Amino acid sequence: MRFLRFRGWLAELATLSGGVARIVFEEVRAHAGTDAAHIYGGFLGTLTAWCEEHNVPYEGVPVGTIKRYATGKGNADKAKMVAAIQARGFAPADDNEADAIALLLWATDPTGGRA
């Protein structure tokens, strides 16, 4: 059911926002366990299928790339990520929100975060 709800949420998001132009997500390459890997795979499969069906470009960004973009180090810890995002004028509630903001900044950087 979680994957059907996720698919429904994607459709609702597209409808309420007037369309989705691009999806960028954190690409996780290491998982805490087998269950986490299976769940991630299910979400990834659901997301990519939805994007393909709706002609929405999508891109997974490795965790190290996001950290390097935000802090200059691909292995920055949670505190450094939060501090880097705070230094850019944001007030993340926690490290997960800091990671999400860093991903948004990477995705909207005119250089694609690659410069």
Give tens-digit pLDDT for 57-107: 999 999 999 999 999 999 999 999 999 999 999 999 999 999 999 999 999
> Cα dihedral sign for 76, 45, 24, 58?
positive
Whether residue 50 is found in the same domain as residue 76:
no
Mean pLDDT of the region 19-28: 94
For residue 28, tell me if it sits in a domain.
yes
Mean pLDDT score of the chain = 94
Give the SS3 label for residue 101: helix
113: in domain:
no
Domain shared by 91 and 57, yes or no: no
Residue 108 pLDDT more than 90?
A: yes
Q: Average of pLDDT values for 34-60?
A: 95
Tell me the average pLDDT across 2-26.
Answer: 97
Domain that holds residue 103: 63-108
pTM for the whole thing?
Answer: 0.85
What's the pLDDT score for residue 29? 81
Are residues 71 and 50 part of one domain? no
Burial class (CB in 10 A: 0-12, 13-18, 19+), 81: buried
Same domain, 43 and 75: no
Same domain, 36 and 73: no
User: Is 74 found in the same domain as 23?
Assistant: no
Co-location of 53 and 16 in the same domain: yes
